[in-house]
Amino acid sequence: MPLPSSILAAEPDASTATSTPPPPVNVTSAYLHQWQNISVGRLLTLLLLVSAALPAADTLLILHKLDDSFGFYDPSTGKLEAKVATGRKPHEFALSVDQRLAFITNYGADTYTETQPGGNTLTIVDLQQRKAIGEIDLGEYRRPHGIERGKSGLFYVTTDFPAALLIVDGRKRKIVHAIKLSNKLPHMVQVSPDERKAWTADAGSGTVSIIDLANRRQMASVEVGGVPMGLALDGPAKNLFVATRTGNMVVVVDAVANRVKRSVGIPGMPARVVLSPDGKLLFTSLIDSGELAAINTRTQLEIKRVPAGARSEGLYVEPSGEFLYISAQSENKVKKFSIPDLELVQTIDTPPKPDPIYLLRSARP
């Protein structure tokens, strides 16, 4: 900082050369005086400018099924930064519209084949404070598993006992409607973009239930065989891809006509499916063979598979379409692969049995 003008003395001329010299100036006091004149508002503005120039920090969210916890990870290093306790044996989660809250299904059982009643709650986690802030009691509806949020902000939750699709208001923290299903063990759920229709993968009956959300009723079901688990709907909402675990197939269902269009043989027990952002590739985790497979959605043929780790299940594709994450449950690891070549680029250690994954983008101030 330049010296204050009061410090810079004028050059003496001949008439004043012999005059009494001016008193000494305290330079430190002059500097302090100038800094005191800077307003608090200007300082806050400077701080905001500096913080905006810093890179935004994303967070990788991973649910740990056998640790009863929800993890916050640094995606660049894979380091676990924080862990929040959930209910017993949580299985899936979804975020609120503003991405400030996570709603977690507390399944309360290891797998769909068990007969125990399991849990009947959803844990709510504040993603900014990184702590649990409450629960939603589902009452008679037990073993909540799949959960998706619609554009309205309502959550759609599957339950095993009784078989139902619950409509949950996250703000009011209560069930606003329950749609009873005729098929068994609805596992995952998919909601249409316009929130007028939903589908459930019914692990206990080899079917996909089709639900009319506008009238809140089950309208039909489609036989797909095996143990249906994962679901993925294409962008135009015309094709629903269904992973049938014991059927060793990915079944393509016409989402408009409600019928099977094609079954694609995929050995290894497909458990989850997810589409690339451009819709050209469909990825599936193979829970029995511990692999990751890619399917060309135009030809509907498998084009590549790579090792992914024991009991691979949870899948997530970054919005950029450049990377994919998969959970190797029996290895307690989440692995990151590049797209489309499926090269392993990162391995993240986790607490026991990681499953669903989500990359939370950090908003700038």
- pLDDT tens-digit series, residues 39-70: 555 655 554 444 444 445 899 999 999 999 99
Q: Which two tokens stand for residue 252?
A: 């393509």
Domain assignment of residue 18, yes or no? yes
Span 87-111, average pLDDT: 98
Residue 307 is which amino acid?
P
Ranges of H-type helices in the chain: 27-36, 40-53
Whether 359 is covered by a domain: the verdict is no
CA distance readout (Å), 83 to 129, 134, 331: 11, 16, 19
Is 293 part of any domain?
no
Question: With bands split at pLDDT 50, 70 and 90, how would you rate the model's confidence at 24?
Answer: low
Query: Predicted confidence band at 186 (pLDDT cuts at 50, 70, 90)?
Result: very high
Predicted confidence at residue 4, as pLDDT, reads 44
Q: What is the pLDDT of residue 45?
A: 54
The structure's pTM equals 0.85
Q: What percent of the chain has pLDDT over 70?
A: 84
**Position 354: which residue type?**
P
pLDDT for 55 equals 43
Mean pLDDT of the 80-103 span: 98
Residue 114's SS3 state is coil
Is the confidence at residue 138, as pLDDT, over 50? yes
Q: Is the pLDDT of residue 8 over 80?
A: no
Burial of 59-71, coded b for 16+ CB within 10 Å and e otherwise, reads: bbbbbbbebbbbb
Residue 100 domain-assigned? no
**pLDDT for residue 315:** 98
Q: CA-to-CA distance for 291 and 337, rounded, in angstroms?
A: 12
> Which one has a higher pLDDT value, 30 or 303?
303
Domain count, the chain: 1
The DSSP output letter for 324 is E
d(CA 132, CA 72): 13
Which residues span the domain enclosing 42? 5-50
Dihedrals φ, ψ of 50, to 5°?
-65, -45
Instruction: Evaluate whether residue 12 is within a structural domain.
Output: yes
Does residue 111 belong to any structural domain of this protein? no
Q: Which residue has the higher pLDDT, 285 or 37?
A: 285
The torsion angle over the Cα atoms of residues 260, 159, 101 and 64, rounded to 10 degrees, is -90
Report yes or no on 217 lying in a domain: no
**β-pairing, 69-73 with 59-64?**
antiparallel
Region of 97 on the Ramachandran plot (φ > 0 left; ψ -120 to 50 alpha; else beta)? alpha
Reduced to 3 states (helix: H, G, I; strand: E, B; else coil), residue 347 is strand
- The residues, any chain, with a CB within 8 Å of residue 364's CB and separated by 6 or more, are 52, 56
- Residue 31: pLDDT above 50? no
- Of 178, 213, 207, the closest CA to residue 195 belongs to 213
Residue 204 is assigned to a structural domain of this protein: no
Q: What is the mean pLDDT of residues 156-161?
A: 98
Indicate the pLDDT class of residue 141, thresholds 50, 70 and 90: very high
Q: Please provide the size of the chain in residues.
A: 365
Q: What mean pLDDT comes out for the span 257-267?
A: 97
Q: What is the predicted pLDDT for the residue at 362? A: 86
Tell me: pLDDT of 14 over 50. no
